[in-house]
A and B are shown apart, each in its own frame.
Chain A
Amino acid sequence: EDQVTQSPEALRLQEGESSSLNCSYTVSGLRGLFWYRQDPGKGPEFLFTLYSAGEEKEKERLKATLTKKESFLHITAPKPEDSATYLCAVQDSNYQLIWGAGTKLIIKP
């Protein structure tokens, strides 16, 4: 069965303390892996798409990487405004997105 697991469920960091979020998946026929950010009371905001193992994408303090079994979202020197829930989704062979439950990131000033 296709499945996406995100860890940890919640992560508290001090401002400037770098860390990584994990997204592990099992899916038949991976078409792509997507990262989104969701702020309270808002819709998910697209961050990155990764298509093949070894691919990396960067945007400001965020960097996403992909292997055959998992993806990492690395956050370098985070700021309080990076606080949000980060969602991972994989696209299967039928182009349907399977979502993880998210990691709630809190950056303390």
Chain B
Amino acid sequence: NAGVMQNPRHLVRRRGQEARLRCSPMKGHSHVYWYRQLPEEGLKFMVYLQKENIIDESGMPKERFSAEFPKEGPSILRIQQVVRGDSAAYFCASSRSAQETQYFGPGTRLLVL
């Protein structure tokens, strides 16, 4: 049973480009969460999605960031017109239900030049 999968593992973008981060949840999990982590800092919640619905996006910047979890396929975190401050590790987690344990993927490390 594969765990949470994220790709790419590393992504380099120049300022102004778009970054697309993908997350495939564990089998049987329909709840997906995205977090951002800066070096030597804790995890910051960004957004919580279920299939085709955004449940909580209170941690997501209002501009340039969007997330989706379509009926088919992985969840995608999209960052438009990236800036150097977007450089961070982005983690996806999934769970079977809202109250159950969240399991994390290996993360995508975004570097903006």
Contact = CB atoms under 8 A, between A and B. Distances in A.
The finding on whether chains A and B are genuine partners in a shared complex, rather than unrelated, reads yes
Interface in A76-109: 87, 89, 91, 94-97, 99-102
Contact of B106 (A43, A46, A96): A43
Interface stretch (B11-19, B37-45, B61-69, B80-88): B37-45
Interface string A9-41: 000000000000000000000011010100001
Contact of B56 (A43, A96, A100): A96
B34 interface: no
A59 interface: no
Contacts of B30: none
Q: How large is the interface on A (under 10, 10 to 19, 20 to 34, 35 or more residues)?
A: 20 to 34
Interface of B: 4, 33, 41-45, 48, 56, 91, 93, 98-99, 101-107, 109
Given A31-B99, A42-B106, A43-B105, 10 more contacts: A34-B101, A41-B109, A44-B93, A45-B104, A95-B98, A97-B33, A99-B42, A99-B43, A101-B41, A102-B42
Interface of A: 31-32, 34, 36, 41-46, 49, 87, 89, 91, 94-97, 99-102
8 contacts: A43-B93, A43-B104, A44-B104, A46-B103, A89-B43, A95-B98, A96-B56, A99-B42
